């Protein structure tokens, strides 16, 4: 198990300047944590105009101590770039992911991917709905991990380890394309995902380690 940190910048006029002032230190922390495998994935959340408005960080740490260590080191958290953040216990689905962009790869000038944050229903039948279509969902996304359509995906967990939602990062450069991708997924057609939020993103080339099941 690990943790997903979904963070949002302030909305005041000085917010972009605060981000830029802390960005180099932020990248230093990400480089170190990605290099030793404690940060499995990290990317900005982009507004429609391409402006960074937050971050998604997926930590490969075994317990809350690792989460606290990250938040204590993260300049965006410590210097007030992030006005708020949510933390989800998270398990990366073991799939044949391709390696994320490594140092030296070009930084994309604009949005290339979409972060999908999906919540399951809260009714008593929700776990059964997920279980009923889970194998079909995994069968669908496995080849997408192999061809880089799915950069990373996994389950949001509750305190008991039960699956209550999903995070997926897919190679869709618009909300419309991401919704079309979602429309055919068994978690949508089977009524598992009841609430979804989309955010544009792009990847920074860092010394990312292979994801579970990846190459």
The tens digit of pLDDT for each residue in 133-153 reads 999 999 999 999 999 999 999
Half-sphere exposure of 69 (CA within 13 A, CB side): 14
User: Is residue 149 domain-resident?
Assistant: yes
pLDDT beyond 80 at 10: yes
Please, are residues 123 and 43 in contact by the beta-carbon 8 Å criterion?
no
- Average pLDDT of the chain? 97
The tens digit of pLDDT for each residue in 118-137 reads 999 999 999 999 999 999 99
Model pLDDT, residue 215: 83
User: Is residue 183 domain-resident?
Assistant: yes
User: Is residue 10 domain-resident?
Assistant: yes
Q: Name the residue range of residue 44's domain.
A: 2-201
**CATH code: domain of residue 113:** 3.30.70.1060
Could you write out the DSSP letters of every residue in the chain? -EEEEEEEE--STTHHHHHHHHHHHHHHHHHHHHHTTSEEEEEEEE-TTS-EEEEEEEE--SSHHHHHHHHHH-HHHHTTSEEEEEEEEEEE----PPPPPPTTSPPPSS--EEEEEEEE--STTHHHHHHHHHHHHHHHHHHHHHTTSEEEEEEEE-TTS-EEEEEEEES-SSHHHHHHHHHTSHHHHTT-EEEEEEEEE------PPPPTT--
Please, are residues 117 and 193 in contact by the beta-carbon 8 Å criterion?
no
User: Is residue 87 domain-resident?
Assistant: yes
User: Is residue 209 domain-resident?
Assistant: no
If one counts the domains in the chain, the total is: 1
The tens digit of pLDDT for each residue in 68-93 reads 999 999 999 999 999 999 999 999 99
**Chain centroid to CA 149:** 14
Task: Give pTM, 2 decimals.
Answer: 0.96
User: Is residue 214 domain-resident?
Assistant: no
User: Is residue 62 domain-resident?
Assistant: yes
User: Is residue 192 domain-resident?
Assistant: yes
Please, are residues 44 and 55 in contact by the beta-carbon 8 Å criterion?
yes
């Amino acid at each position: 198990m690990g943790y997903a940190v979904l963070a949002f910048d302030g909305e005041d006029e000085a917010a972009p300047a605060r981000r830029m002032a802390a960005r180099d230190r932020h990248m230093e922390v990400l480089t170190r944590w990605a290099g030793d495998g404690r940060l499995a994935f990290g990317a900005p959340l982009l507004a429609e105009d391409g402006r960074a408005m937050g971050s998604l960080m997926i930590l490969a740490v075994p317990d809350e101590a690792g989460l606290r260590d990250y938040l204590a080191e993260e300049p965006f958290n410590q210097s007030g770039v992030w006005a708020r953040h949510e933390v989800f216990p998270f398990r990366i689905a073991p799939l044949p992911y391709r390696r994320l962009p490594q140092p030296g790869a070009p930084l994309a000038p604009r949005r290339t991917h979409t972060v999908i944050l999906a919540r399951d229903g809260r009714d008593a039948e929700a776990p059964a709905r997920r279980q009923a279509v889970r194998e079909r969902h995994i069968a669908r996304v496995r080849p997408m991990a192999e061809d880089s359509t799915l950069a990373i995906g996994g389950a949001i967990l509750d305190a008991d380890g039960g699956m209550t939602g999903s995070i997926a990062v897919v190679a869709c450069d618009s909300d419309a394309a991401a919704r079309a991708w979602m429309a055919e997924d068994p978690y949508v057609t089977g009524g598992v995902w009841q609430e979804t939020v989309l955010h544009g993103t792009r990847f920074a080339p860092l010394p990312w380690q292979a994801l579970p099941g990846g190459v």
